Amino acid sequence: MEDTNLTFKVVIIGDSGVGKSNLMTRYTANEFSQDTPATIGVEFMTKSIKIEGRDAKVQIWDTAGQERFRAISRSIYHGAKGAMLVYDITNQTSFDSIPTWLQELRVFVPATCSIFLIGNKCDLEHLRVVKKEVADRFARENGLSFLETSALEKTNVEKAFEWLAKSVYDLVVAPVDAAGGRRPPLNAAANAKRPVNLGASNDGQAAGKKENTSRCC
Amino acid sequence: MEELRNIHHSAQEGRLEEALLRRVLDFARHRPFHAFHSLRWRLLLGLLPVNVEAGRHFHEWEECTRAGIRDWNEMNDNLQQRLVATDSAVRPVEKKGLVSKDEFSSFSSSSSCPDDGESRTVENPLLPGVGSLYALRYCVDTIRATAQKDLDRLHWDFPLFEKSTTRKALMDLIVNYCLRHDYEYKQGMHEIAAFIFYLNHTDSALLEEISKSPEEADKALIDGFGRICPINGVMAMTFSLFENVMGGSGLRLYEWYHSSEEYARDGIATASHRTQRELLAEFDPVLHHQMNVVYEIEGTSYLIRWLRLLYLREFSIPQCADLWDVFLSERFLARHDDYSLNNSIVTMLAASMLFYVKQDLMVGCIDALKRLMKYPPVEDVGTLVEMTIMQQDPKKNGIGRYFTPPERHELFGSKTPPPMEETSALATSSALLSPIEVMNQQGTILASIIARLELLWMPSSDAMSNDAGHAAETHARTIEELKKVRDVLLFSNGSKTHYA
């Protein structure tokens, strides 16, 4: 077993205004601000965690929601082991953009990158426009893990990042360890484990959540 | 008031250009925030003529100001009226080949909405025809949707920005700018606009306040400038300045926001790469290697914010006002020559900033990234400006001729070298002294320089408080002073004397 400290990179992407920066600051510094300015370029923070008993450091890169140049995207995505695709449950447009973000992400990251779909601002249930079932189906169809969060109320934020870190560990680090340090073929690693769908309605973790039955308009 | 007196008197005497540049680039004097930066910038960008006939400046500047206000009011009023018209339109104009899904499509009556002469090319065939009011509404709504998020997140700690009228004013400015130039809104433009608006408003409000109880001797002066910076013209002046800072006749900042190609010659990605790969190598090869080879940090990760916002997030508002004085002075001096933002003081300053925090950047990759994401407060941006100008214009052919570096005599306590004014005076008057006196004088200056350098290498209570930044400052200043000694010894009249 390697003794070196683990370090891996996570990128947070999604439309402008969905709450990417507050997700990052809530997780790394336990801070939420109503005064967060628009991100210009990227922001960077780190968090030290323990995973499978080992010390690890997560590098989190928060991006500007409007940046579309691939030259710039390439440098931000380079080396990312995990990604969060964030939308705002009160903003249909931000969810409609997710396929575009996913397509762009997949151009730049390897198949072993763990990708989570995050529906943020779940505290604003009364303003919800993106049904959980719709997002859940999209996540399953595209091989993403799914979770709803609230950076404001700190709901599921810690959980989202730690599950992402665990997923990265399982997909990339553990197979290397198991092979005695030899790096397995990417295909094998990619198939080692399907992403856990944390948003599934039958998931025990979500059992406590209030059920919302669909209503006709 | 001193600023206004200075501008007034030098304009009256027909030497405004020289006086303005020297004053704007004087970092040895105290630089008050209320230095009428917006007025300086209008002069430096040519929005107010600098080469004005002696004594006629108030008249001409007042005319320019009135014209600017009239143009802005016409443009904005026209836009607002057309937007109102879209709300009452019977149905949108339908172009041949386009199918309208509007709810009014079932109406049989023809639309009475006039087309305008806009020549914008329609890229998306499903969009409404370019000339229609509906197309205008669509464009405006698109701009507003994205800009509103950013304006709502503009939390500058000034009462001015808590007013809803301020946000509306900034939105109107952004919409008008994007429509006039056929640009989409890009994040960051809102802060450039807000900064310019804030300075215009501050300057006009200050003048209005002073005019309520002026000194008798200054009354005519205040009245004159009150018409050049009127409080009811703040939006017009802000729009003109913003348009010029962004536009081709000004700083050309639009190249860093709207380049259509990723690696456009003047685009933001090219600027970022050049800054970290080329300019930094000129400053410090060791740091260059560390950043680019050892760490493999991408310049775009932090330089997009530094450059697109012209450092508004890296320094305080007053410091940014001083920095913009320098940027616009450089632009002024370039005149109609090719001015390239990618090859300007704006990018060279970034390299200076990296060098200034070299100590922090050399610790490790993570610490370096954190420092780049959150640049430390700088007490005096004059030191950074000095490093930058020395690198950009080492022979003082351009902006270096007008620049006065900051004084730092307080750093060395009782061993303070002569103040800059005194040193300059001594150098200037050297021609009147005998050759031996010149040599003795320069020897004294050399002795003070040597004493200062020794302080950096010998531990003392004063020296211990210095950091790498101060070492860099001292280095830059020492080179400057050594050059002066060299110039005096080689080129003064004294050097022509032959000794028996």
Collapsing DSSP to helix, strand or coil, B121 comes out as: coil
| pLDDT, position A71 | 65
Residue B298 contacts A, CB cutoff 8 Å: yes
| pLDDT, position B477 | 65
Residue A217 to residue B23: CA distance in whole angstroms: 67
Question: What does B380-394 look like in DSSP terms, one character per residue?
Answer: -HHHHHHHHHHHH-T
pLDDT at residue A196 is higher than 80: no
| pLDDT, position B412 | 38
What are the φ/ψ torsions at residue A118 (nearest 5 degrees)? -120, 120
Instruction: Work out the number of other CB atoms within 10 angstroms of the CB of residue B184.
Output: 14
| pLDDT, position B144 | 86
Average pLDDT of chain A to the nearest whole number: 78
Do residue A40 and residue B370 have CB atoms under 8 angstroms apart?
no
**Helices within A155-205 (DSSP H only):** 157-168, 174-178, 186-191
Mean pLDDT of A141-165: 92
pLDDT band at A142 (very low <50, low <70, confident <90, very high): very high
Nearest CA in chain B to A18: B149
Do residue A38 and residue B150 have CB atoms under 8 angstroms apart?
yes
A4-177 folds as: Rossmann fold (3.40.50)
- Are the beta carbons of A129 and A92 closer than 8 angstroms? yes
Strands lying side by side in the sheet with A145-148? A42-51, A54-63, A6-14, A80-88, A114-120, A145-148
Looking at per-residue pLDDT, the higher value among A129 and A200 belongs to A129
Q: With a cut of 0.95, is the ipTM above it?
A: no
| pLDDT, position B335 | 64
Residue B157 contacts A, CB cutoff 8 Å: no
| Burial environment of residue B359 by CB neighbours within 10 A (0 to 12, 13 to 18, 19 or more) | middle
List b or e across B253-269, with b for residues whose CB sees 16 or more CB atoms inside 10 angstroms: bbbbbbbeebebebbbb
Do residue B366 and residue A66 have CB atoms under 8 angstroms apart?
no
Looking at per-residue pLDDT, the higher value among B310 and A163 belongs to B310
- Are the beta carbons of B40 and B49 closer than 8 angstroms? no
Do residue B187 and residue A66 have CB atoms under 8 angstroms apart?
yes
Angle at B207 between CA B202 and CA B213, to 5 degrees: 135
How many helices (H) and strands (E) in chain B? 23, 0
Give A40's contacts in chain B (Cβ within 8 Å).
187-188, 191, 304-305, 308-309, 313
Residue B148 to residue B155: CA distance in whole angstroms: 13
Q: Which of residues 92-151 of B touch A (CB under 8 A)?
A: 146, 149-150
Do residue A38 and residue B188 have CB atoms under 8 angstroms apart?
yes
Residue B232 to residue B66: CA distance in whole angstroms: 11
Nearest CA in chain B to A70: B262
Residue A34 to residue B234: CA distance in whole angstroms: 29
Nearest CA in chain B to A93: B145
Q: Which helix (H) or strand (E) holds B57?
A: helix B57-88
Instruction: Work out the number of other CB atoms within 10 angstroms of the CB of residue B464.
Output: 8
Please give the single-letter amino acid code of residue B47: L
Residue B301 contacts A, CB cutoff 8 Å: yes
What does the pLDDT profile of chain B (500 residues) look like in tens digits? 778 988 998 998 887 988 999 889 999 978 998 899 999 999 999 999 988 878 888 988 988 998 999 899 989 998 988 788 776 654 444 433 433 333 323 323 333 333 333 334 444 555 555 567 768 878 899 898 989 889 998 888 788 888 888 988 999 999 999 998 988 898 999 999 999 999 999 999 998 888 888 777 887 888 899 989 999 899 999 999 999 999 988 998 988 998 765 556 568 888 998 899 899 998 899 999 999 999 989 898 999 989 999 999 999 999 999 999 999 999 999 865 669 898 899 999 999 999 999 989 999 998 999 889 989 999 889 999 999 998 889 988 899 989 999 975 444 333 333 343 333 344 444 445 566 666 766 777 777 777 767 666 555 444 444 445 556 666 676 777 787 777 777 655 444 443 33
Q: What is the distance of C-alpha B417 from the center of its chain?
A: 32
| pLDDT, position B119 | 39
Residue B80 to residue B140: CA distance in whole angstroms: 11
Q: Please state the domain extents for chain A.
A: 4-177
| pLDDT, position B436 | 65
Contacting B with CB below 8 Å, chain A residues are: 16-17, 35-46, 57, 59, 61, 64-67, 69-72, 75-76, 78
pLDDT in tens, B2-43: 789 889 989 988 879 889 998 899 999 789 988 999 999 999
pLDDT at residue A185 is higher than 60: no
pLDDT at residue A143 is higher than 80: yes
